[in-house]
């Protein structure tokens, strides 16, 4: 059980971004394509788990004063640093080994993801703004990696949307850190001292607005309309707007945005908007 907590498989849902490129290209359910994308998903999942372990090792002291992170296996002392390092290396090496089963471009993207996240764990996460940009760039790498592995070129609008979505979620998570600092006086991360509620709230508003506009621009772009052969794609923007509004409500009203993955797993409204959004594209692209 502690090993499961350490590697955090529930967080692997983030690596589903690998499937975005083949899904939007209308080829995801071709057997060879799906297998290649699945290999990419596994590689990114193993790499992500190794980074989570490294981050827990580096942040063990800060985690011990966090209201929920103090129960993590390393912070609680249930898994030793030595064992954690061994598991981290096994997962990291396995991730790269699996990536080599695809092509050199994907392997390079995965290696870039690992290098950036190692740098993040060793200090870049303490640089305000850059910390959130690097997290967002990680989602872009997942998405681009999925395109590279199946030889699909992403539109610039889709890359922008992925980056803005990840940045929006990162801002919401930072807001939760600020609230904990205000209530307890414990700073969760060094970069938090460079943020306050006014800045975070303004940034969330700016990014969420830009995200919606970028998505609508994507749906009406000539390239996308011609490729999908559907001129009413912008109707799917309704689900995006509803999803963003609900997440804003969770963040600004309910003060419950500490974990985007937990919100995804528990919030029925967001789940429904995602299902309807995905179903609409499935019907357009595959039916």
pLDDT 10s digits, 55-114: 999 988 877 877 778 888 888 888 889 999 999 999 999 999 999 999 999 999 999 999
CA distances for 91 relative to 88, 145, 208, angstroms: 5, 19, 35
Q: What is the mean pLDDT of the chain?
A: 92
Which tens digit of pLDDT belongs to each residue from 105-138?
999 999 999 999 999 999 899 899 999 999 999 9
Q: Is the pLDDT of residue 239 over 80?
A: yes
**pLDDT value at residue 65:** 76
Question: Measured in Å, how far apart are the chain's first and last C-alpha atoms?
Answer: 42
**pLDDT value at residue 3:** 87
| The dihedral sign for the CA sequence 104, 109, 114, 116 | positive
Mean pLDDT of 157-170: 96
Q: What percent of the chain has pLDDT over 70?
A: 97
**pLDDT value at residue 42:** 97
**Angle between the 197-220 and 237-248 helix axes, to the nearest 10 degrees?**
170
* C-beta separation of 4 from 135 below 8 A: no
DSSP assigned state of 249: I
CA–CA dist 53, 74 (Å, integer): 9
Q: What percent of the chain has pLDDT over 90?
A: 77
Q: Is the pLDDT of residue 202 over 90?
A: yes
What pTM did the predictor assign?
A: 0.92
Q: Is the pLDDT of residue 218 over 80?
A: yes
CA distances for 106 relative to 136, 138, 144, 262, angstroms: 18, 14, 9, 29
Residue 11's pLDDT band (boundaries 50, 70, 90)?
very high
Residue 269's pLDDT band (boundaries 50, 70, 90)?
very high
Residue 185's pLDDT band (boundaries 50, 70, 90)?
low
**pLDDT value at residue 188:** 63
**pLDDT value at residue 2:** 86
| The dihedral sign for the CA sequence 11, 12, 13, 18 | positive
Q: Tokens for 149?
A: 């592995």
């Amino acid at each position: 059980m502690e090993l499961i907590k350490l590697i955090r498989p529930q967080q692997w849902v983030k690596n589903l971004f690998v499937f975005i490129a083949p899904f939007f290209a209308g080829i995801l359910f071709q057997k060879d394509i799906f297998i290649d994308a699945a290999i990419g998903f596994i590689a990114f999942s193993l790499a992500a788990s190794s980074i989570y372990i490294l981050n827990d090792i580096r942040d063990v002291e800060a985690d011990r004063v966090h209201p929920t992170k103090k129960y993590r296996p390393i912070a609680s002392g249930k898994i030793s640093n030595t064992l954690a390092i061994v598991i981290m290396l096994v997962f990291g090496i396995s991730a790269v080994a699996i990536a080599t089963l695809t092509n050199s471009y994907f392997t390079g993207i995965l290696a870039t993801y690992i290098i950036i996240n190692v740098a993040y764990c060793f200090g870049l996460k303490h640089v305000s703004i850059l910390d959130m940009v690097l997290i967002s760039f990680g989602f872009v790498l997942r998405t681009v990696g999925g395109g590279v592995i199946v030889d699909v070129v992403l539109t610039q609008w889709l890359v922008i949307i992925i980056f803005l979505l990840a940045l929006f979620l990162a801002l919401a998570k930072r807001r939760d850190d600020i609230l904990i600092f205000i209530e307890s006086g414990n700073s969760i991360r060094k970069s938090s001292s460079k943020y306050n509620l006014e800045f975070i709230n303004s940034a969330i508003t700016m990014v969420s607005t830009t995200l919606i506009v970028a998505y609508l621009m994507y749906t009406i772009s000539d390239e996308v309309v011609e490729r999908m052969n559907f001129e009413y794609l912008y109707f799917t923007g309704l689900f995006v707007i509803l999803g963003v509004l609900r997440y804003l409500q969770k963040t600004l009203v309910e003060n419950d945005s500490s974990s985007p993955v937990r919100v995804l797993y528990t919030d029925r409204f967001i789940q429904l908007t995602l299902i309807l959004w995905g179903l609409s594209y499935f019907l357009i692209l595959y039916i």
